[in-house]
Amino acid sequence: MKQFWLRSFLAMFALFSCFSFASEQTDTTMSEEEKQYVLKLLGEWQAFEKKTGSIELPNGVATLTVPEDFVYIGPEDANLVLTAFWGNPPGSKNLGMLFPVKYTPIDPEAWGVEISYEEEGYISDKDAAEIDYSEMLQQMKKDTAQTSKYRVKQGYPSIELVGWADKPYYDQETKKLYWAKELKFDNSPDHSLNYDIRILGRKGVLNMSFIAGMEQLTEIQLNREKVLAMANFNEGMRYEDFDPSVDKVAAYGIGALVAGKVLAKTGLLAAAVLFLKKFWFVIVAGLFGVTKLLFGRKKQQES
């Protein structure tokens, strides 16, 4: 079975290195259905509307300033990348995604930033300096184990929170928080990376989540400050615009954002921790969303 995945990966690599050459070389390694599906995804990516510069997000509360080495795609196209390209379950209520221009979503080195917004009220940051993130990590591991049971029942791979890839850090001045989790899916020897940014606003929080593999941690750390600088709340929606006489105050603080309790409260925890970029040992299934097709073949070969 490992030989099949290796042949599929090599065929995919050849296919996107040189289309004419790959079409001759992959006939015996990929089925026609698989090749057509890969080509379909690439065509869809090329047709997406990609934006740079000043971009107001669809909900109107924040604006991105996207440099020329990144592109922004809207919610509909982002959902297609997350599901069809990267094999995630449907249901993401995102505001679009960011990608470095040097990659497409089907490149092995690809990573992206999923953007969303939660309007749960003004979040006090008074407890930020008092949080014990080591203790929090242990509870998060237990919560993830419970979520994993739900995933398996839905037909998706199990998930395990391995630990912090980057310990949480809150910038009191900019009201921006970031942390990174190392995740393991099923028995994959290659772990996934969830690198999260939260920007506090007057009425809620803007979420920016990197979706990548652990091997891309260094590249993401190098790009973190650039991505942090891209998003800011519009005037009237900024943290300092809070009016205690009229604005709602959230029932949780900074720690709850990191632990994911706010998502659990709103019923989104399951979706939030499901995001992965790909399974390197089953790259076609994870990357191109043909899990059922390939797993079905596996069952036939093992029977």
Instruction: List pLDDT tens digits, range 205-253.
Output: 999 999 888 889 999 999 999 999 999 999 999 999 999 999 999 988 9
Fold that domain 49-285 belongs to in CATH: Protein Transport Mog1p; Chain A (3.40.1000)
- Given this model, what pLDDT does residue 231 score? 97
List the one residue out of 191, 254, 195 whose CA is nearest residue 219.
Answer: 195
Backbone angles phi, psi at 106, to 5 degrees: -100, 5
Bridge partners of residue 201, in order along the sequence: 238
Hey, where are the domains in the chain? 49-285
Per-residue confidence (pLDDT) for residue 289, from 0 to 100: 36
Phi, psi of 198 (to 5 degrees): -125, 130
d(CA 9, CA 30): 9
What are the average pLDDT values for consecutive 10-residue runs of the chain, which has 303 residues?
32 38 42 81 92 97 98 95 83 92 89 94 92 93 88 84 95 95 86 91 95 90 95 97 96 88 38 39 32 36 42
Give the model's pLDDT for residue 261: 59
The confidence score (pLDDT) of residue 262 equals 40
The predicted structure's pLDDT at residue 228: 95
List of residues 6+ apart from 90 with CB closer than 8 A? 79, 83
For residue 71, give the 3-state DSSP assignment.
strand
Task: Enumerate the β-bridge partners of residue 271.
Answer: none
Residues 254, 59: Cα–Cα separation, whole Å: 23
Rounded Cα–Cα distance for residues 7 and 54 (Å): 43
* Local structure of 235: helix, strand or coil: coil
